[in-house]
Every structure is written in C-alpha cells, then in structure tokens.
Structure 1
Amino acid sequence: MIQTKLDDRDDRIQYSDGWGVAGSEHEYKGTTTSTATKGAKFTFEFNGTSVSVFGTLPEATRPSLVSVHPHTSYTVDGGDPVFFSKKLADSIQYRIPFFVKGNLTNGTHTLVGTCVNDGSQVYIDYLIVGAPDNPPIDVSDSPQPNTGPPSSESSESVSSPPVSITSPYSQPPAASSAASSSISSPNLTPHIATIIGGIAGGFILVFIVLALFLWYCRWKRIEYMMSIRRSFSLSSRDSQTSSESLSKSDRNSLVSLPSDIIIYREGRRSLQSQPVSLSASSWNGNKIY
C-alpha cells in the first residue's frame, strides 16, 4: 500500500466560502485551514482505495467552549455522511483523525467535508490517500490487434515503458538480488576434493621416500656382510698358506723366540734374557717343552 500525505493547502483541495488560514510549528508544514461557519465545505478528488482527514482541536479557553464540540461530516462519492465530534481539552490536540475511510475500489473518488455547527473552530491539517502497489491496467487504452500499420498513438502507447511504483513497505530489489546470489553460489565440493587429493599425494610421496630409505639400508647391510665374508675368506687362505709353508721347512729351520717368552723345561720355569733358537720340531701347541 502506497500512502500519500497532502497538506491542507494542496491545490487539489477546494474550499468554499467561510474558510480561513492558520497554523503553528507543531502542525504539518506549519499550516492549517479553519472555519467556524456552519455549512462551509471542502471538496477533494483523489485516486486510491482509502482516504483519511487529520486536524487540530483547540484548547477550551472559555467554559462556554467546553460544551461546543467541533462537529463535522464527511461523505465519499455522495454516500451516507459520517459525523465526527470530540470534546475539547485544556490543551491543544494535534494530528487528530477526523475521518478514515478504506476498502474503496481502486479508482477516482470524491471526498466532501462539511462544518455542521457554529461556534467552534474546525482546523484541517492534512489528508492521507492510500493506493495499492500495482495500479490496475486500463484495458481500454491497450492497442487492439490489426492488419494494417499501427498508428502513431498506438505505437507510442506500446513502446512507452510501464511505470513501477515502489512502496516504502515493500522489500527493495537489492534484497531479492542478494538472496538469489546467495542461492546461486558455487559448490565448494571441487575445492575440498583438491585438498583431499593433495593430502593423499603427500602421504604417497612419504611412503615412497621411506621405502627407498629402507631399501638403501638393507643394501648397505648386505654389502657389509659380503665384505666380512671376503675378509674372512682371505684370512683363512693366508693361514692355510702359512701352515703349508711351515710344514715344508720346519725340519731343519729354527724358530727365534723373543726374550720375554716363558719356557717350561723339566718342570722349571725360567725367563730367557737372550733369544733362544729352537727347532720347529719342539713346538707343540702354545707351549715350548
């Protein structure tokens, strides 16, 4: 619903004789139109589905005015009048609804307000007209199909863009566009799949590096064992060669022993200070007899 507020001085409001001007800073645009003349009227033609009249009630400055209430009547399209009357108070009352009419057909209507009694001032401050968000389409103005070339008037009516009226209570287009953009946001599944693939690739790379390291350690161990076997084979071959050479020449050769070897002979032990020459035939095991 679109609501339009009109000041009492609007040119669309027509006043009869007997009306004057007034106003204060507390009233809409600081103006009012007043009358105390019985039968004084105002006429207002509008397009919409509702209309309201607001005014000011003066204070009861004299005891005689307390019993004289502002009394007005209102009709729409010549219908039954609706009366308004309210007792005055000790202070001024602003923005008082004098008349409210709704549920009208969307179209052109005529409002007539009338001062019913004398002796009490009636102050009209402003009017409010209500209209739907989407005005009705006048079918009579739409171009009719024909076989001939369209006239200039029909072409202008077809090509003219439609007038859109925005209500202050309706949702702005930006909100709907934001909602649609949030709905059409891209799916995040491919991004998550990329992260999972990267993590899996990292685990595979670590596994391959670990396998190569274990293979290298095993290869080094095999090489070490083979080197030990080669050393052992060489030492056994040298020992065998030495024993064979000794057996061939031990008959007439002598063995020179160092001076610190203990020689056991006839149950006595003596430390030879000089090298002793013995035949290889007297060598038996680890002792010399």
Structure 2
Amino acid sequence: MTIIEVDDGDARIMYSYGWSRGGSPPDLNHTISYTSTQGAQFTFVFLGTSVRVFGTLAATTFPNTSYSIDSGEPVLFFGEPPAQMQYRRNFFSSPDLKYGTHTLVGTCVDEGGLVYLDYLEVETPALLITSGSASSQPLPSLPTKSQSSLSGLSSTDSPTSGSPTGLIVSTISPLSSVIITYWGSQPSEVSAASPSIFKSKPTPSAAAIIGGVVGGFALAVITRVLYLRYRRWKSRKLVALIPRRQSFSSLTSLAGSA
C-alpha cells in the first residue's frame, strides 16, 4: 500500500462558496483552507482504498463537520476546542473501500465554527514512481497476456484478463523509463536493466540532405565562376603585354641599322 498526501491547495479538491485560504509554518506546505459558513463543502474524487482528512483544531471554536463517501451516510466529527491550537489532527478516516474511484464530500455543520482543512491522505495499491515522486493513476484492463518478460515476471504468470494490481515506472535516464505491470503483490526485485532497449540509428533528415546537395552545388558553381574569371583576367594581361614587346623589337632594329 502507498500513502499519498494531497494538500488543501491541490486542484483536485473542489470547494463550494464560503471557503478562504490561509496558512502558517505548522501547516502542510504552509497552506490551509478554512470556513465558518454552515453548509460549505469540499469535494474530492480519488483512486484508492481509503481516505483520511486532517486539519487544525482552533482554541476557541467547535469545528463540527460531516464526511460522506460515495453519497453514503454522513459521519459526524465534533472537535472540542483545545487549550491551544493543534495542527494536523485527524478529522475523518474512511473504512476500507474497494479499489477504485471514490468521492469524498466534507461539510461544515455549524454556523460560526471555524473548520480548518490542511490535507488529505489517500491509500492505494497502485504505485507510480517517477523521478522519486509517488502518485496514483488508473490502471487499464488488459485482455491478453503480457508479451514481455522482465526480472521476476514472465509471460506465463500474467492472467488472460482482469485489472492489474499496480504499475512500477522506473526512470533509467532523463529520456527513457521502464513500465512494469504486475498482478497480486508487488515484485520483490525488479531490475531496470532487464528490458531490452532498442535505439534506432540516427538518420539525416530530408532538410539536411537537401541542404547538403544545394550547398555542394553552390560551391561547385562559385568555384567554376572564379576559375573562368581567373582565366579571363590572365588572357587580358597577356594581350596587353604583346604590343609592348613588338615596339621594343622595332626600336632595337632601328638602333642596329643606324
């Protein structure tokens, strides 16, 4: 079994009119929700086998409340004011429930009595481990046998139908994880290195291929243009030198005849 704490500020807890938000360091996450309005309610839908309600007992008022599971008979809580504030007191504990989705409704019974809701605790057999944190999630029904074999588990051990007891998600690296579905009790030993992890070889994208072709073609064109311009420049230089050589030869001939 796994115990999951749900803070009063969690978005899964729905509040009716009359609730306010406050908090101090003794409260879980330093937050608390409170009301003194008769009939004010909070509703919490959870997946698990039981739920507990925790709050603060004020030193001056009677936080009388009632709690109902799945529209069942309300259970009353009459809190007597202590000599001083008492934090994280258990207001309600549900009986053992069948694993599944349930609805808890808490109601302020009396007008003027401050009710402080700090947090809830949900008990569930479904364990989800992701980067060191735990939370619950619904488990799907699998109509066929498992086709994978992991450490401590085999395909022959898997039932042909029904809902699995839980999931274990073990993070191998920031980009990969192993998901194990189990029936019955949680496997005592599961090796994260057991599953075969297939990684496809990286292939260049179409954009990279097109870019390479265009770049190569552009380089060839630029090289060709520079070569032609060089030849043209060289030809012009040779043409410019030929008349000078002829003039020099003529002057030499005239000087010899004189």
What TM-score, normalized to structure 1?
Answer: 0.47
User: How many pairs does the alignment contain?
Assistant: 148
Partner Cα separation in structure 2 for residue 99 and residue 43 of structure 1: 14
Q: 1:186-206 CA deviation, whole Å, 9 max, x = no partner?
A: xxxxxxxxxxxxxxxxxxxxx
Q: CA deviation at 1:142?
A: 2.7
Q: Which residue number in structure 2 is paired with residue 73 of structure 1?
A: 66
Unmatched segments (≥5 aa) in structure 1: 145-159, 175-289
Q: CA deviation at 1:102?
A: 3.1
Partner Cα separation in structure 1 for residue 122 and residue 5 of structure 2: 7
Percent identical among aligned pairs is 44
Q: CA deviation at 1:171?
A: 9.1
Q: Which residue number in structure 2 is paired with residue 27 of structure 1?
A: 27
Unmatched segments (≥5 aa) in structure 2: 128-136, 146-176, 191-258
Q: Which residue number in structure 2 is paired with residue 215 of structure 1?
A: none
Alignment of 1:82-97 (within 5 A): 82-97=75-90
Q: Which residue number in structure 2 is paired with residue 118 of structure 1?
A: 111
Q: CA deviation at 1:125?
A: 0.1
Assess, with a 3 A threshold, how the Cα gap between structure 1 residues 163 and 17 changes in structure 2: closer, same or farther: farther
Q: Which residue number in structure 2 is paired with residue 11 of structure 1?
A: 11
3-state SS in 2 of match to 1:173: coil
Q: CA deviation at 1:133?
A: 5.0
Are the counterparts in 1 of residues 47 and 138 from structure 2 also a CA contact under 8 Å? no
Based on CA coordinates, which of the two structures has the bigger radius of gyration? 1
Assess, with a 3 A threshold, how the Cα gap between structure 1 residues 76 and 119 changes in structure 2: closer, same or farther: same
Question: In angstroms, what is the RMSD of aligned CA positions?
Answer: 2.9
What TM-score, normalized to structure 2?
Answer: 0.52
Amino acid at match of 1:110: T
Partner Cα separation in structure 1 for residue 108 and residue 83 of structure 2: 22
Q: 1:230-271 CA deviation, whole Å, 9 max, x = no partner?
A: xxxxxxxxxxxxxxxxxxxxxxxxxxxxxxxxxxxxxxxxxx
Amino acid at match of 2:123: G
Amino acid at match of 1:84: F
Q: Which residue number in structure 2 is paired with residue 142 of structure 1?
A: 143
Q: Which residue number in structure 1 is paired with residue 132 of structure 2?
A: none
Q: Which residue number in structure 2 is paired with residue 224 of structure 1?
A: none
Q: CA deviation at 1:172?
A: 6.4
Assess, with a 3 A threshold, how the Cα gap between structure 1 residues 88 and 103 changes in structure 2: closer, same or farther: same
Partner Cα separation in structure 2 for residue 133 and residue 47 of structure 1: 9
Amino acid at match of 2:189: P
Q: CA deviation at 1:49?
A: 0.2
Partner Cα separation in structure 2 for residue 4 and residue 127 of structure 1: 8
3-state SS in 1 of match to 2:81: coil
Assess, with a 3 A threshold, how the Cα gap between structure 1 residues 171 and 89 changes in structure 2: closer, same or farther: farther
Assess, with a 3 A threshold, how the Cα gap between structure 1 residues 173 and 7 changes in structure 2: closer, same or farther: same
Q: CA deviation at 1:163?
A: 3.9
3-state SS in 1 of match to 2:73: coil
Are the counterparts in 2 of residues 106 and 136 from structure 1 also a CA contact under 8 Å? no
Assess, with a 3 A threshold, how the Cα gap between structure 1 residues 121 and 131 changes in structure 2: closer, same or farther: same
Partner Cα separation in structure 1 for residue 181 and residue 95 of structure 2: 23
Q: CA deviation at 1:96?
A: 0.6
Q: Which residue number in structure 1 is paired with residue 189 of structure 2?
A: 173
Assess, with a 3 A threshold, how the Cα gap between structure 1 residues 171 and 72 changes in structure 2: closer, same or farther: same
Are the counterparts in 1 of residues 47 and 124 from structure 2 also a CA contact under 8 Å? yes
Q: Which residue number in structure 1 is paired with residue 38 of structure 2?
A: 38
